[in-house]
Amino acid sequence: MVANTQMMAAAGLALSRATKLAYAPVMVNMHEQGAIEDSALMLRYVDGDTTAFETLYRRHNDGLYRYLLRLSRHPETAEDVFQEVWGKIIKARANYRPTAKFTTFLYRVAHNCFIDHVRRNKRHTHAQIFEPENQPDPSEQPEALTERSLARRRLNAALLDIPDEQRDVFLLHEEAGLNLDEIASITDTNRETTKSRLRYAVKKLRAAIDEPVETS
């Protein structure tokens, strides 16, 4: 079942909890993807254009859910926070000002919603190693598939072991595609601290992925 974004935008309500969250990337035509900037779409939505919101949702729902899933390490938590984030975006539309990229605005809301969720509910601490990857390419050789699967499992396991601050910075960089200044703004830290956290996270994750396979 596909999320009814038109109804959600028109009503100004959060996504229904019954909505199934699509994970596979949504195809958006090139005109829609490139012709209109996110901030312009958000301003159109502020003026009542619900189709502009639908476009924003299609562009960013997968990346946002992926970020929250890897950050929380729990599918139900990711879904709960995902719903909350889009609800807050809707409710805040009247006060939206394009002072930063829409993605910075979106992931700042997501970051804050996750922090608030952690304070309210400790469920996400009971982590699962959840693999949010697409189905493997059937054309890949078995050896390549095995190697890629092992790397993913090691990455997921390593993400569980690094500090929350480092994991958050890494995911904002890799999943959201944000730069250091944008991440620093979202996490309320200075650029050097953000850079240091990202560097340590990448170093630890790379070491985990490159760890030699033990043989019996």
Over pLDDT 70: what percentage of the chain?
Answer: 66
Mean pLDDT on 163-185: 92
* Residue 24 tokens, joined: 């596979």
pLDDT (tens digit, 9 = 90+) per residue, 83-95? Answer: 999 999 999 998 8
| 119 phi/psi in degrees, rounded to 5 | -65, -30
Domain-wise residue ranges, the chain: 1-126, 141-211
What does the DSSP assignment read for 73-134?
S-HHHHHHHHHHHHHHHHHTGGG---SS-HHHHHHHHHHHHHHHHHHH--GGGS-------P
Mean pLDDT on 57-62: 94
Is 3.40.50.2300 the CATH number for 1-126?
no
Mean pLDDT taken over the chain: 75
Q: Indicate if the pLDDT at residue 32 is higher than 60.
A: no
Name the region of 48 (left: φ>0; alpha: ψ -120 to 50; beta: rest). left
pLDDT (tens digit, 9 = 90+) per residue, 93-118? Answer: 988 888 888 999 999 999 999 999 98
Comparing 137 with 152, which gets the higher pLDDT? 152
> If pLDDT is split at 50, 70 and 90, which confidence band does 152 have?
low
Over pLDDT 90: what percentage of the chain?
Answer: 46
CATH of segment(s) 141-211: 1.10.10.10
Mean pLDDT on 46-55: 93
Q: How many CB atoms lie within 10 A of CB 5?
A: 20
Mean pLDDT on 178-200: 94
Q: Which long-range contacts (CB under 8 A, 24 or more apart) does 86-91 make?
A: 86/8, 86/14, 86/15, 86/57, 86/61, 87/13, 87/14, 87/15, 88/113, 90/8, 90/9, 90/12, 90/13, 90/14, 90/53, 91/12
